[in-house]
Chains A and B, each alone.
Chain A
Amino acid sequence: MAFGTQEAPSDADLPWSVRRSLPRGSQAVFEGKMLNYKGNWKGSVVSSVLEPVLFLAAMGISLGTLVDQGGRLDQGVDYLVFLAPGLLAATAMQTATFESTYPIMGALKWHKTFEGILSTPVKVRDLVTGHLLFILFRLVTTLAVFLAVMGAFGALEMPLGLLALPAAVLTGLAFAAPVSAFAAWVQNDAGFAALLRFGIVPMFLFSGTFFPVDQLPAVLQPVAYATPLWHGVSLTRGLSVGQLDPLLAMVNVGYLAVLLLVGVWLARRQFAKRLVI
């Protein structure tokens, strides 16, 4: 093996492999996360695929019977068809949030794996991009299975409904980026409990997943409309039900895209603050 080669340091001395792939640090970070995931994917099947599907069956079909008997859902569709896209968007939020909280804090603080990675040519922004690439992978695979189940349950208007997948993926990414920044900002995981209980859980319960937001008291409706999950649910539902309001959809996409971009900016800044000291 050739160690400590004697050439004088200059640009041309970089090993070709390094020169070629320096800009692709994010790809290596993604590969690292995939290598980790290889040993854990089975557990995630139960939690991210089976759970939402069981939810859909229990709430959409069985509870749906009661709701449809009540006849009070003024959406022109069965409760199952109404609920399914809501659960799709909520699952995206949950998967992205989960993968962006404890794993980020672990790599940053407890295991210091980020520190190890940064002693290579990989840059801070590669860490953020690589992490989001992994979230993208998790979202696409998880949500595609859920979408297939929706199709099997007859809760998908074709072919427009297929676009519910990218819509839900965008929703997930719009959560992943700012939550990653948050995970790099808080000093310990007490912050996560607060985020979940006062942010994510209330969104899950009140942002249109289980019932239309206009059922909320008038003062709370603007709050619900301001949440990112509502925009995700609105977009996803419009596509899967086949009743898309183009103007509203543009607002939804714009909101989520801005959240994603701001989140990426914040995450890069916050990662650098914690790691480059």
Chain B
Amino acid sequence: MSTTPPGPAGVGASSMLLARVLPMPLPSARRASLLVERNLLVYRRGWLLILSGFFEPLFYLLSIGIGIGALVGTVVTDSGAALDYTVFVAPALMASSAMNGAVYDSTFNIFFKLKYAKLYDAVLATPLSASDVAAGETSWALMRGALYSTTFLAVMLALGLVQSWWAILAVPACFLIGFAFAAVGLAATSFMKSWQNFEFVQLAVLPMFLFSTTFYPLSVYPDALRLLVQCTPLYHGIELVRALVTGLVDVSILGHVLYLAVMGSIGLIVGSKRLATLLLK
């Protein structure tokens, strides 16, 4: 299920229509107040979300398969395997959408609740603590992400883009990606002063999506750029999911898992500490 409605709250024109597969919309104060009603609606129109949660990956994968995939043909991965282009891109889109959903939920959504809904003030008047809030929000985002990843995998399976039983592990892998980005997103949100700050989120997420071996292997880049790309978290997420879905699994996936786990843990620690000071001052 796609829980990231296209960019109502953002100035982001092009990001808006790319729904969950492409990076989140840019929020702005301008439409913040519209969100009260919108958020309510998001949860009411369940059938449309479920339906579009199915159609969205389908449209993207079909477009790539019929279109760019047909133009490119096969692509040689960095580990030397020759893959059909659609098979190459599909797992990357799955990993990216896990990132986007998590980033949206943990930055924009949370900031809205912190700033306008005053939800947490009410929660903290109960026996819940700030770290409960942080953990609770993160798990909520992860659950929705897991549902979406499963749908995505099912669509890939239906289109014949899954090549190995390892692919079952792609869902927990996306879960890990979601966890890592949601935790860091939460920590980042705790530093945000205004909606304008969210431009930075967009500025981090979009280039990562476009350049982290989503659409082409590292070999396209010069050496210096390769190193830079390899430092980004989404690169590790994409390589992890790609390895599992294509069945080209080796020891390197442990490195990807470790990277994401450490990133998520640091994010969670910083995030809950920051949230505690924000909420209890």
Contact = CB atoms under 8 A, between A and B. Distances in A.
Interface of A: 36, 39-40, 42-44, 46-48, 50-52, 54-55, 57-59, 62-63, 65-67, 69-70, 72-73, 79, 90-91, 94-95, 97-99, 101-103, 105-106, 110-111, 188-190, 192-194, 196-198, 200-202, 204-206, 210-211, 215-217
Interface string B11-40: 111111111000001101011011001100
A43 B70 contact: no
B41 interface: yes
A44 B60 contact: no
A59 B220 CA distance: 12
Interface in B1-17: 5-8, 10-17
19 contacts: A40-B11, A42-B199, A47-B26, A51-B206, A54-B206, A54-B207, A55-B14, A62-B216, A62-B221, A66-B75, A66-B85, A67-B68, A67-B71, A98-B17, A106-B31, A193-B52, A196-B16, A205-B60, A205-B63
Given A102-B8, A110-B34, A193-B52, A46 B199 contact: yes
B108 to A, nearest CB: 13
A62 B68 contact: no
A42 B195 CA distance: 12
Grouping DSSP codes into helix (H, G, I), strand (E, B) and loop, the B interface class, with mixed when no group exceeds half, is helix
Contacts of A39: 30
A110 B37 CA distance: 9
Interface string B51-71: 010011001101100111011
A40 B196 CA distance: 9
Given A62-B221, A98-B7, 5 more contacts: A43-B10, A63-B216, A94-B17, A111-B33, A217-B66
Interface string B154-194: 00000000000000000000000000000000000000000
Nearest to A41: B11
A46 B34 CA distance: 21
A47 B70 contact: no
B74 to A, nearest CB: 9
Give chain B's interface residue range (CB within 8 Å of chain A): 35 or more
Give me the 10 closest cross-chain CB pairs, A-B, nearest first.
Answer: A211-B67, A47-B12, A205-B63, A58-B210, A43-B11, A98-B13, A197-B52, A95-B13, A44-B11, A94-B13
Contacts of B33: 110-111
Contacts of B207: 54
A73 B69 CA distance: 11
Contacts of B75: 66
Given A47-B12, A196-B19, A197-B56, A210 B67 contact: yes
A73 B196 CA distance: 41
